[in-house]
Amino acid sequence: MSTSSRASGLPARPPSSPPSQSKPPLLALLRAKLRLGHYSLRTEQAYRGWVVRYVRFHDLRHPADMGEREVLAFLHDLAERKRVAASTQVQALAALQFLYRDVLNQPLELEGRIPRGRAPGRVPTVLTRDEVLRVLEQLQGSYALVGELLYGSGLRLLEGLSLRVKDLDLARREIRVRRGKGERDRVTVLPERVLDRLAAHLVEVRKRHMRDLAEGAGSVVLPGALSRKYPKAARTWPWQWAFPASRLYQDAETGEWRRHHLHPSAMQRAMIEAVKRSGISKRASCHTLRHSFATHLLEGGYDIRTVQELLGHRDVSTTMRYTHVLNRGALGVRSPADQLGR
């Protein structure tokens, strides 16, 4: 086994292949196919993780030497021993189907052999306006601004963290979300209450960027092939992250010193601590702020199509899950208990 194969924990090629017909490592082939299909980075990371788990589950046998039986055994283990959610099992199956169909050219024949579990239709956790305010007051610095945008603009966490300076239109009070979920762009509202603080924040970010440039850094990753089309754009102000990380890193391919945006785990930790300090009794996460954004808009009388546009949902049925708020509270059904006498 080669050094690269040992490092990844996966065999580079089927043991039966002669040396003269050796292929690139399996994970490299998987990555190449995913990028050829323009799959998102998060999908690439998820599929890679499932392929690694699958191979390790079968004692590092190469997938080309396995098939439907081994895939079924792996999926049954996920369901019976690890008791994963239905959506998790679906994702694992999708990753393995992609591996066998698009990478190994050995399509799986699993039709009718795997019962399709249905994920429970859970109502999303939603904070009241007072609870949102209590949580946001416990966030500090850049985390506070990100939290305000997750709630005030209905952004997903990664959408908020990966905003670039050019995506923020303070004059029009708009945010342009680039390549959101499903690779779709959209425009959403920029809360007026954050304008002054966001402008002051960007002034400090620009000062840091100028220092980075003076020290030979100041470059960021550009999407797609833009770095080849516009070689100097990566060092310009409009392309910089609105919420940059505190540390530089050296790019392994180019050797450039760059600054990435805040890592999702950092914001998630800050949110967990803020919820604890706020004293609210609900289990809330960064995504809860997005749920609260949608719910409060519906409570305020905005039509569901408008909310769908702002959230970036492809299908209005996804947005419909927030209409549970219309069945209760001041705008919904009044409990018969409230109509009793004393």
Give me the amino acid identity at 48.
R
Name the token pair of 40.
């998102």
The answer to whether residue 313 is catalytic is yes
DSSP code at position 332: S
Q: Which of 235, 260, 287, 321 is catalytic?
A: 287
User: Which residues, listed in sequence order, are joined to residue 189 by a DSSP beta bridge?
Assistant: 174
Among the listed residues 13, 209, 261, 290, the single catalytic one is 290
The b-or-e profile of 211-230 (16+ CB within 10 A means b, else e) is: ebeeeebbbbbbeeeebeee
Q: How many secondary structure helices (H) and strands (E) does the chain include?
A: 14, 5
Active site residue: 31, 156, 258, 291, which one? Answer: 156
Tell me, yes or no, if 287 is annotated catalytic: yes
Of the chain, the end-to-end C-alpha distance in Å amounts to 80
Whether residue 277 lies in the annotated active site? no
Contact 184, 138 (CB under 8 A): no
Is-catalytic flag, 260?
no
Torsion of CA 165, 169, 171, 174, to 10 degrees: -150
Instruction: Looking at 177-285, list the stretches that DSSP marks H as alpha helix, in order from N- to C-terminal side.
Output: 195-214, 226-229, 264-278
- Catalytic pick from 31, 62, 258, 313? 313
Q: Of these residues, 176, 181, 235, 321, which one is catalytic?
A: 181
d(C-alpha 220, C-alpha 210), whole Å: 13
Instruction: Name the catalytic one among 54, 143, 151, 322.
Output: 322
Angle formed by the axes of helices 129-136 and 286-299, to 10°? 150
Alpha-carbon distance of 52 to 102, in angstroms, equals 17
248, 255 Cβ separation under 8 angstroms: no
Q: Read out DSSP for 117-168?
A: -----PPPP---HHHHHHHHTT--HHHHHHHHHHHHH---HHHHHT-BGGGE
Is 322 catalytic? The answer is yes
Asked if 134 contacts 288 with a C-beta cutoff of 8 angstroms, the reply is no
In the chain, the amino acid numbered 228 is R
Supply the residues annotated as catalytic. 156, 181, 287, 290, 313, 322
